[in-house]
């Protein structure tokens, strides 16, 4: 795959992604650990989001709300070890920026210093623009995220497509413009009508990254486990599943368990053996040192 905006082998930067506006589509995915980040990076993706979807996809929480900054940072460090080229974006978790710009800046700095992220993402439009601006002023590139923002689950009363009325659509356009004005280098548009994301994409001078927002964004992102088919329960309409890894894993586990039960595993070629002749001496010595059998109770 060649979506490369940096010279081969060179790290992709936030300014380079920003400059991709209107050009070749930006290709992005989430990743949460070393092996998957390595695969995504080697496949030539432009950026990797260490998404707070980690909460549900890997850690088994039932929303993104409980995940902590420490959990996000640990995942980001693992991703960092597997990535050479893609830009690494750390997703700021719920409760670590909403209440003040100071907390937002402090959390973003931890993502950079401890996690090795090269940018952060925050959810929310106009009401979060001042926080986004403060983080940018602390020299950290920030990606915005509007539309269906999973951290607003309680306010939204469920995961619902946003911007479906004229009023709501106008609000989202204002939100997008506010984030651009505050210095975002890109903005994720999630769960909104494709006509609205097209208008936002046309109005902004920074790239839009769509997820459930139609094909006319400047780039697309999906959740890693959705793409490979390693999920449990409901999958959103916008997901295209490119593999069925859950079935592959389940079948491998069953085969292994069957082989162990039937003593087909390990085979001779999967076992270590003593050098020739040693076994004879060992068995002799062993039988001499065995105490005589006592009465069986």
- Separation between Cα atoms, residue 111 and residue 260, nearest integer Å: 44
Q: Which is nearer to ligand KIV, 237 or 275 (CB)?
A: 237
* Catalytic residue (one of 118, 123, 180, 190): 190
User: Who's near 112: CB < 8 A, 6+ residues apart?
Assistant: 90, 118, 120, 140
Residue nearest to ligand KIV (CB): 51
Kindly state the tokens that stand for 124: 């929310």
Pick 131 or 211: Cβ nearer ligand KIV: 211
If we measure between CA atoms, which residue out of 77, 87, 29 comes closest to residue 57?
29
State how far the Cα of 158 lies from the Cα of 144, in Å rounded to an integer. Answer: 21
Measured from the CB atom, is 49 or 176 closer to ligand KIV?
Answer: 49
Q: SS3 of 295, please?
A: coil
- The answer to whether 175 and 149 are in contact (CB under 8 A) is no
- Closest approach, Cβ 6 to ligand KIV, in A, equals 22
Residue 222 CB, shortest distance to ligand KIV, in Å, is 7
Q: Please report how close the Cβ of residue 221 comes to ligand KIV at its closest, in angstroms.
A: 5
What tokens does 161 get?
Answer: 């497509």
CB of residue 94 to ligand KIV, shortest distance in Å: 11
Q: Residue holding tokens 């959390």?
A: 107
For tokens 């269906």, the residue is 148
Annotated active-site residue 118? The verdict is no
Summarize as ranges the residues that interact with ligand KIV (CB under 6 A). 30, 49, 51-53, 91, 188, 190, 211, 221, 223
Opening angle at CA 172, ends 170 and 174, nearest 5: 70
If the CB atoms of residues 3 and 64 are measured against ligand KIV, the closer one turns out to be: 64
- DSSP line for 38-54: HHHHHTT-SEEEE-TTH
Tally of CA atoms within 13 A in the half-sphere of 253 that contains its CB: 6
Minimum distance of ligand KIV from residue 90's CB (angstroms) = 10
Cis, bond preceding 266 (omega within 30 deg of 0): yes
Give the active site residues: 190
């Amino acid at each position: 795959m060649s979506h490369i905006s940096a010279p081969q082998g060179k790290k992709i930067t936030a300014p380079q992604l920003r400059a991709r506006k209107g050009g070749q589509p930006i290709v992005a995915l989430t990743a949460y650990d070393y092996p998957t980040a390595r695969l995504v990076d080697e496949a030539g993706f432009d950026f990797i989001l260490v998404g707070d979807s980690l909460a549900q996809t890997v850690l088994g929480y039932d929303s993104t709300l409980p995940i902590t900054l420490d959990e996000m940072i640990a995942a980001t460090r693992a991703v960092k070890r597997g990535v050479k080229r893609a830009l690494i974006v750390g997703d700021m978790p719920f409760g670590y920026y909403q209440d003040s710009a100071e907390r937002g800046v402090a959390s973003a700095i931890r993502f950079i210093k401890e996690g090795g992220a090269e940018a952060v993402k925050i959810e929310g439009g106009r009401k979060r623009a001042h926080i986004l601006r403060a983080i940018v002023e602390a020299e950290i590139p920030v990606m915005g995220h509007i539309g269906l923002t999973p951290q607003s689950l309680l306010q939204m009363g469920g995961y619902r497509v946003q911007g479906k009325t004229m009023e709501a659509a106008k609000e989202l356009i204002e939100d997008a413009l506010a984030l651009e004005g505050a210095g975002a280098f890109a903005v994720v548009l999630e769960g909104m009508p494709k006509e609205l994301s097209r208008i936002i994409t046309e109005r902004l001078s920074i790239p839009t990254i769509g997820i459930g927002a139609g094909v006319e964004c400047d780039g697309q992102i999906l959740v890693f486990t959705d793409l490979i088919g390693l999920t449990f329960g409901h999958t959103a309409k916008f997901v295209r599943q490119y593999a069925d890894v859950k079935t592959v894993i389940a079948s491998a586990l069953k085969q292994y368990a069957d082989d162990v039960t039937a003593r087909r595993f390990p085979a001779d070629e999967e076992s270590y053996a003593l050098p020739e002749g040693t076994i004879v001496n060992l068995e002799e010595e062993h039988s001499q040192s065995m105490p005589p059998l006592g009465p069986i109770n």
